[in-house]
Amino acid sequence: MGLFDTLPRPTKTYHSKTYDRISPSASQFDGNGKTVLITGGSEGIGFSIAKSFAEAGVAKIIIVSRSAGPQADASKAIRADFPTTEVQTIAMSITDLQRVTEVMRSTNAIDVLVLNAVVVPQHDPGGAELEQEAVYEKTFFGNVIAPLHMIKQYIEQPSPKTKTIINISAASAHMDLPSVAKYGPFKAAFATLCQQLATKHNPENGVYIFSIQPGVFYTSSAKRAGTSETAFEWDDIRLPGNFVVWLSGSEGAFLHGRFLWANWDVDELIELKDKVAKDPTFLKLGLLM
């Protein structure tokens, strides 16, 4: 049993592993000629997403991250398995707004922007502490202001006509636990902001925006946060990559502006299409009394 599969959810089926229905080779996402930019794309969840888009046949993947070493390893691995996919690596932090502006203005025709890079504070089980304003400020900037700036630069690009934005959020956006007090609120804030942006920037003007909880994995970030490898039954790292490719295709378009879990069964989500259309609050972060 996984960490969150007993929580309330809109689908009966909860996946901890990838499954044939969301295989990139079976997806309605057409990767032909497309370019995908992934922040934090050299390791963990971001690398999973990069590999899934390569399997879907995209023409080019741009990996943005801070460290050149993992970038080189990721690029080599993708090229070895998918030699027809061009891989470009850019070493930068998304918190360097001037550098982000320069990169986005020089990199045109991005079809899918995946916001996966995060700023995670040092693990602290002590909860919210009023004396740590600097920690909150840094985490807010890295997880809200920086990705918002990247969205702005992306939407302002003259091409392509259709733009897809995938915000990789976290389960901690839903959680009221001391251990995530310095991280979860900012993931919730940005996911809520994406919902607001999706109201103005919508399919009518060629923009699709989604937020997802990718699953729970033992990544380098989890290790740095002090989490034990035996603490949980971790999800399959291929799950978020394949789910993101499916979501970027025509079948997932009706979920624009929604917050989704990669663990939710896509066929059961499709069965909820009418409810999504009729209820503007369904599958969104918020509280109705």
Note whether 58 and 31 are within 8 A (CB).
yes
Structural Rg of the chain based on CA atoms? 18
Q: Which of 169, 172, 211, 248 is catalytic?
A: 169
Token pair recorded at residue 202: 């919508």
Active site residue 187: yes
d(CA 54, CA 8): 33
Token pair recorded at residue 212: 């997802």
Of 233, 237, 234, 257, residue with least CA distance to 247 = 257
Q: Which of 16, 34, 154, 183 is catalytic?
A: 183
Active site residue 67: no
Active site residue 136: no
Question: What sign results for the dihedral spanned by CA atoms 105, 243, 143, 152?
Answer: positive
Q: Which of 16, 65, 187, 248 is catalytic?
A: 187
Q: Packing angle between helix 184-200 and helix 133-140, nearest 10 degrees?
A: 30
Active site residues: 169, 183, 187
